Amino acid sequence: MLASRFVAGRCVGIFRNVYRSHIRTHLITFAEKRFESTLSAPHSVPLPQHHNNHLSRSFSRSAMASVESIVQQLQGLSITPAATVSHAAASSPATWREALEQSSSAPKSFELIKTIVYKPKTAKTATPVPLVVVAREGTDVISGALGKKLNLKEPRLASEDLLTEFFSLDKNSLSPLALNEQTFPKVVTVIDNTIESASTIFAIRGLSTSSTIFLTGRELFSYIKRLETQENALHEIDFEALRTDGPAASATTPAKKEKESAKIEGAAQIAIGIKKEVDFAGWYTNVLLKADMLDYYNVSGCYILKPWSYSIWEIIQDWFNKEIKELGVQNAYFPMFVSQSVLEKEKDHIEGFSPEVAWVTRAGKSDLEEPIAIRPTSETAMYPYYAKWIRSHRDLPLKLNQWNSVVRWEFKNPQPFLRTREFLWQEGHTAHLTKPEADIEVRQILDLYRRVYEDLLAVPVIPGVKSEKEKFAGGLYTTTVEGFIPTSGRGIQAATSHCLGQNFSRPEMFNIVVEDPNDPTGQGKIYVWQNSWGLSTRTIGVMVMTHGDNQGLILPPRVAAIQAVIIPCGIAAKTSDEQRKTINDKCEELAQQLKKIGVKAKADLRDVHTPGFKFNDWEQKGVPLRLEIGPADLAKQQTLSVRRDTGIKAPIPLAQLTTVVPQLLETIQSDLFKKAQDNYYSRLKEITKWDDIVPALDNKCVVALPWCEEEACEDDIKERSGQSSEPQDERAPSAGAKSLCIPFDQSRWTPIVPGQTKCPACSKDAKRWTLFGRSY
């Protein structure tokens, strides 16, 4: 840890450039995302009601006009649509389906048609020839394999600009009906070969988000097929066969291809737009943005915590405050500035941080006489005052905690919550008369950290002690709870509780000393035993990574600001105002009932949004439980519950609501934990032979080794396991395995026989089972 920090410090100049260009990419991506979300959620800014009505009326008038002309054109080709439907603007497949299901004029059963446009790679000067894919909703379109088959280079999802240029439509209005004598020759068109013979009716966008035309597969096929010429063929593709042949075909550059297909397949089918299993870093960023947890900030490596994530931190604060106060800890606050002389007092300690310390060197136009550091942690800021305040053994134990932010000017790639230049945490600093007393507290606090993760965030962790190399610089020993991110196969230090020993209280350091109450001569002195312990907003990132899926965030009920959202459903254009009011009132009434028994409930009565939009919105934000109420539910005196974690739907009689909902929330909480724990444990590999280590790491596992506990061996393991590893994700540091912790509970593994069990790395005698892994 120390070594890598120094390297980062020395190479600041080089890193800075890399870093800047990386950040720029980030911002551009973000700008695009914002653009996308404006397009896909046109109603996200609530307009005054009358204004909005006016807009949608005039919009649907023009939409209807275009539908009429399309229908006329189809009739000219002897095609009569099974139905045409105008509906509320629907920007996603889910809301589209929902709008159609609510319409009385839509067929009882239908399938959606998706139209995806790609831009194959071409020379900058060449005119692009877009690839238009017309497929059934459920068809898996693998662009890489498709490009290979058609001999088109690296097809990527087309930008909105390209769609406008070729079709004058946005991606949600586009459909095969935009293909005509003018557009067809300019593009390459592919049709899913199962469409022609399908017996179902297909829903096709009427070139707007608010109108739909229903055609048979045969009709749709013939509509496009007639445009075919000698020069421009219609490609009928068997996507199922393409999918099966796919992996072999894309073996040349797997990482790159995987990333592409992550985006492309995702775009049409999953809310987050990037698949968690394929581009984890991209997925993570998208989840945070779409769940409205975070925003980027104009100082790189810093982020804004929005209410949806800050509320989680508040819940952790409330719980943790209550627990530490039971232990006699009091909250206080120390300034964020540390003078240079004090900061640099403990040499090992400062060596651990110095490359990352941010300094204030100027005030207004004048340089400061002595630069002032912004705390990277507060040991050195606080302890001169501990020396002043602790006059006698009766002043012990002194137990203070502060909730604050610290700054570590990292030059590694930032990642929200996991690695940021400023982060929120609590830091506890305590002083004790004896080592046993300090030891006990170290473990009490560590167990509170374990409970924050396991009981609140439903994230399993393994408590243990750090190796000498990985311990807190300047401390005596460090205990840790180690988490694990299955998707990346990396360990993550979740929180640490350190015993500093007497390193900081020594006379040449801060000289925190009391008379020894047990020395009969009255001359004996005791340098106090100190601990420090910290838990940061990293908790939130680990939770998101552990539970989230391709629909977005999944919040464990105990940390959710909203645990149950109640959504009125089944309200159609023909619903009377009175019926609408009855349903809305019922939703509000249920929310009040639940709030009364301590469930954080909310009725979502926003009338500018369809139920489908709301479902999607709260799913992305990870609300654990959704309750739907429609006229039919009301008649049966029930509500339909839908679990965010499993999607399982079950009706709940309204009379039992206040008993069933709290139970269900508890079940969700424990199921999430169980699932994450099973996942973690299944990736913990007991390994006794060197040759098995790297394959296990490459298989996204953490390895437990019977280890000699020697630092040189640890360095060697890191180096040797790093050499043979795969190319790494650019945002994930350190490819070699380092020691994560020596678990307190050794009983999970085969007992180590002293003198017989050998360390698989150096063949010396093994001491304890130690977890090694790639890590954050």
Q: Which is nearer to Zn ion, 697 or 759 (CB)?
A: 759
Q: Which is nearer to Zn ion, 382 or 708 (CB)?
A: 708
Q: Shortest distance, CB of residue 710 to Zn ion, whole angstroms?
A: 6
Q: Shortest distance, CB of residue 287 to Zn ion, whole angstroms?
A: 40
Which residues from 397-416 bind Zn ion, rule CB under 5 A?
Answer: none
**Cα–Cα dist 645/547, whole Å:** 8
Q: Which stretch binds Zn ion (CB under 5 A): 193-201, 377-385, 631-639, 712-720?
A: 712-720
Q: Which is nearer to Zn ion, 627 or 717 (CB)?
A: 717
CB 626 within 8 A of CB 590: no
Tell how strand 234-237 and strand 188-192 pair up: parallel
Residue 704: partners with Cβ closer than 8 Å, 6 or more residues away = 684, 685, 686, 687, 743, 748, 749, 769, 770, 771, 772
Q: Shortest distance, CB of residue 271 to Zn ion, whole angstroms?
A: 47
Q: Shortest distance, CB of residue 724 to Zn ion, whole angstroms?
A: 18
**Cα–Cα dist 616/178, whole Å:** 28
**Cα–Cα dist 278/412, whole Å:** 22
Mark 612-639 as b/e (b = at least 16 C-beta within 10 Å).
Answer: bbbbbbbbbbbbbbbbbbbbebbeeebb
Q: Which stretch binds Zn ion (CB under 5 A): 15-23, 352-360, 518-526, 752-760?
A: 752-760
Q: Which stretch binds Zn ion (CB under 5 A): 379-387, 532-540, 593-601, 709-717?
A: 709-717
**Cα–Cα dist 49/159, whole Å:** 32
Q: Which stretch binds Zn ion (CB under 5 A): 158-166, 381-389, 662-670, 758-766?
A: 758-766
Q: Which is nearer to Zn ion, 315 or 762 (CB)?
A: 762
**Which DSSP state fits 549?**
B
Q: Where are the alpha helices (DSSP H) in 485-576?
A: 538-547
Q: Shortest distance, CB of residue 498 to Zn ion, whole angstroms?
A: 25
Q: Shortest distance, CB of residue 29 to Zn ion, whole angstroms?
A: 43
Residue in 235, 762, 765, 767 binding Zn ion, rule: CB under 5 A = 762
CB 291 within 8 A of CB 308: yes
Q: Shortest distance, CB of residue 767 to Zn ion, whole angstroms?
A: 9
Per-residue x/- mask for Zn ion, residues 650 to 689, rule CB under 5 A?
----------------------------------------
Could you tell me how far CA 562 lies from the centroid of its own chain?
18
Tell how strand 684-686 and strand 702-707 pair up: parallel
Q: Which is nearer to Zn ion, 460 or 760 (CB)?
A: 760
Q: Shortest distance, CB of residue 758 to Zn ion, whole angstroms?
A: 8
Q: Shortest distance, CB of residue 713 to Zn ion, whole angstroms?
A: 3
Look up residue 64 and give its two tokens: 């209807």
Neighbours of 570 (CB within 10 A): 16
Q: Shortest distance, CB of residue 743 to Zn ion, whole angstroms?
A: 17
Q: Which is nearer to Zn ion, 542 or 713 (CB)?
A: 713
Residue 133, class by beta-carbon neighbours within 10 Å (0-12 exposed, 13-18 middle, 19+ buried)? Answer: buried
Residues forming beta bridges with residue 85, ordered by sequence position? 212
> Does residue 708 interact with Zn ion by CB under 5 A?
yes
Q: Which stretch binds Zn ion (CB under 5 A): 16-24, 260-268, 600-608, 761-769?
A: 761-769
Q: Which is nearer to Zn ion, 264 or 717 (CB)?
A: 717
Q: Which is nearer to Zn ion, 224 or 708 (CB)?
A: 708
The torsion angles phi and psi of 707, rounded to 5 degrees, stand at -110, 150
Q: What is the DSSP string of 616-678?
A: HHHHHTT-SEEEEE-HHHHHTTEEEEEETTT--EEEEEGGGHHHHHHHHHHHHHHHHHHHHHH
Q: Shortest distance, CB of residue 691 to Zn ion, whole angstroms?
A: 15
Q: Which is nearer to Zn ion, 274 or 761 (CB)?
A: 761
Q: Which long-range contacts (CB under 8 A, 24 or more apart) does 31-39 make?
A: 33/286, 33/289, 35/160, 36/160, 36/273, 37/290, 39/91, 39/160, 39/170, 39/171, 39/172
Q: Which stretch binds Zn ion (CB under 5 A): 9-17, 227-235, 604-612, 705-713?
A: 705-713
Q: Shortest distance, CB of residue 235 to Zn ion, whole angstroms?
A: 59
Look up residue 705 and give its two tokens: 């080794």
CB 400 within 8 A of CB 332: yes
- Residue where the block lists tokens 């496009």: 224
Q: Shortest distance, CB of residue 723 to Zn ion, whole angstroms?
A: 17
Q: Shortest distance, CB of residue 760 to Zn ion, whole angstroms?
A: 8
**Cα–Cα dist 725/722, whole Å:** 5
Q: Which is nearer to Zn ion, 442 or 766 (CB)?
A: 766
Per-residue x/- mask for Zn ion, residues 504 to 533, rule CB under 5 A?
------------------------------
**Cα–Cα dist 308/75, whole Å:** 52
Q: Which is nearer to Zn ion, 656 or 750 (CB)?
A: 750
Q: Shortest distance, CB of residue 506 to Zn ion, whole angstroms?
A: 32
Question: Of 309, 272, 415, which Cα lies nearest the Cα of 732?
Answer: 415
Q: Which is nearer to Zn ion, 187 or 713 (CB)?
A: 713
Q: Which stretch binds Zn ion (CB under 5 A): 40-48, 73-81, 411-419, 702-710?
A: 702-710
> Does residue 713 interact with Zn ion by CB under 5 A?
yes
Q: Which is nearer to Zn ion, 729 or 765 (CB)?
A: 765
Residue in 759, 769, 772, 773 binding Zn ion, rule: CB under 5 A = 759
Q: Which is nearer to Zn ion, 456 or 759 (CB)?
A: 759
> Does residue 761 interact with Zn ion by CB under 5 A?
yes
Q: Which stretch binds Zn ion (CB under 5 A): 86-94, 402-410, 672-680, 706-714?
A: 706-714
Please work out the total of residues on this chain that contact Zn ion, with binding judged by CB under 5 A: 5
Q: Shortest distance, CB of residue 741 to Zn ion, whole angstroms?
A: 16
Q: Shortest distance, CB of residue 704 to Zn ion, whole angstroms?
A: 14
Which residues from 20-79 bind Zn ion, rule CB under 5 A?
Answer: none
| 3-class secondary structure, 26 | helix
CB 652 within 8 A of CB 661: yes
Q: Which stretch binds Zn ion (CB under 5 A): 230-238, 301-309, 315-323, 713-721?
A: 713-721
Q: Which is nearer to Zn ion, 457 or 759 (CB)?
A: 759
Cis peptide, bond prior to residue 486, ω within 30 of zero = no
Q: Shortest distance, CB of residue 708 to Zn ion, whole angstroms?
A: 3
> Does residue 752 interact with Zn ion by CB under 5 A?
no
Question: Of 551, 549, 413, 487, which Cα lies nearest the Cα of 26?
Answer: 413
Residue 669: partners with Cβ closer than 8 Å, 6 or more residues away = 458, 556, 557, 558
Q: Which is nearer to Zn ion, 594 or 761 (CB)?
A: 761
> Does residue 766 interact with Zn ion by CB under 5 A?
no
Q: Which is nearer to Zn ion, 620 or 770 (CB)?
A: 770
Residue 198: partners with Cβ closer than 8 Å, 6 or more residues away = 111, 136, 216, 217
Look up residue 268 and give its two tokens: 């049409």
Q: Which is nearer to Zn ion, 85 or 759 (CB)?
A: 759
Distances (CA, A) of 358 to 196, 224, 298: 65, 63, 17
Look up residue 706 and give its two tokens: 């019977």
**Cα–Cα dist 701/198, whole Å:** 44
**Cα–Cα dist 642/618, whole Å:** 11
What residue ranges bind Zn ion (CB under 5 A)?
708, 713, 759, 761-762
